[in-house]
Amino acid sequence: MLNEIMQIFQYDFMVNAIIAGVFVGISCAVVGVFLVLRKFSLIGDGLAHTSLATIALGMLLGIAPIAISIPLVILASLFILRLSQKANIWGDSAIGFVSAMAIALAVLMASLSKGFNVDLFNYLFGNILAITMLELITSVILSAVVAGVLIVFYRDLFVLSFDEDFAKVVGVKVNFLNGLIIVLTAIIVVLGIRVVGTMLISSLIIIPAITALQISKNFKLTIILSVIFAVFSIVSGIMLSFVLNIPTGATIVLISGALFLTALSVKLLKK
């Protein structure tokens, strides 16, 4: 098995998958911490369902799915935020409404088409080993942008994550930052689709964050541990799936889940 793992780096598509996975994993892990603390984690699942419709639309129109998905999913995320603010609809209800409509549209477009159902299946459950150079470059650039934005607004996001009322008192632009978090989530959801698929992307955002929270009492350490857990899950999942010839996305999520259960067990044993 060790020899097979070493051979992985001889294949360009495996190297590309690992590079893209690492960058996307870092973005998901960092944004995930803020989402979990803000109790916004459900937004990732809703936007993942929305992205499926945008991917189906891109395939139907003959446009690169990732190129059309990013702007449309961002618009959907802002619509969810607007709907919850102006229509007196709770956030989870707004997410449920948009995601349900998106899934219906995806099914409709898939049924009307005759040639991309198999490709849509790959986006549904992820296929990072088939990532294209365009998707790799886009993942690296946008992941760097997400990280840069989080660094710039880190202090305000830190205050907002723990006490929204206090954040308002000290002059933090709460509405702007809530919108910013949702837009960043939309970006990483689209980027993560190739890694684990629309059905599992929310787990890549949530599980590393809640795993880190089990064993860390420091905010910065929580972010660092979340990144470590996410990257480890992705890299080891890619390698293990290649060696054992099993689905990559599912392997990544199962490893991430195993890390969470281990961290939770350690926490309970200490108590």
DSSP string, 65-122: HHHHHHHHHHHHHHHHHHHHHHS---HHHHHHHHHHHHHHHHHHHHHH-SS-HHHHHH
Band (pLDDT 50/70/90 cuts) for residue 158 is confident
| 2-264 carries CATH number 1.10.3470.10 | yes
The rounded percent of the chain whose pLDDT value lies above 70 is: 90
Torsion of CA 155, 81, 108, 246, to 10 degrees: 20
Model pLDDT for residues 56-105, shown as the tens digit of each residue: 888 777 777 777 888 888 888 888 877 776 656 655 677 778 888 888 88
| All structural domains of the chain with their residue ranges | 2-264
- Here the tokens at position 5 are 């793992």
205 in Cβ contact with 226 (< 8 Å): no
157 in Cβ contact with 150 (< 8 Å): yes
Q: What phi-psi label fits residue 173: left (phi over 0), alpha (psi between -120 and 50 degrees) or beta?
A: beta
What would the mean pLDDT of 245-256 be, rounded to a whole number? 88
Alpha-carbon distance 147 to 138, whole Å? Answer: 14
The CA distances from residue 81 to 134, 179, 181, 240, in Å, are 30, 7, 11, 39
Most confident range, picked from 122-136, 170-184, 231-245: 231-245
**Up-side HSE of residue 246: CA atoms within 13 Å toward CB?**
12
What is the chain's percent helix, strand, coil content, to nearest 5?
A: 85, 0, 15
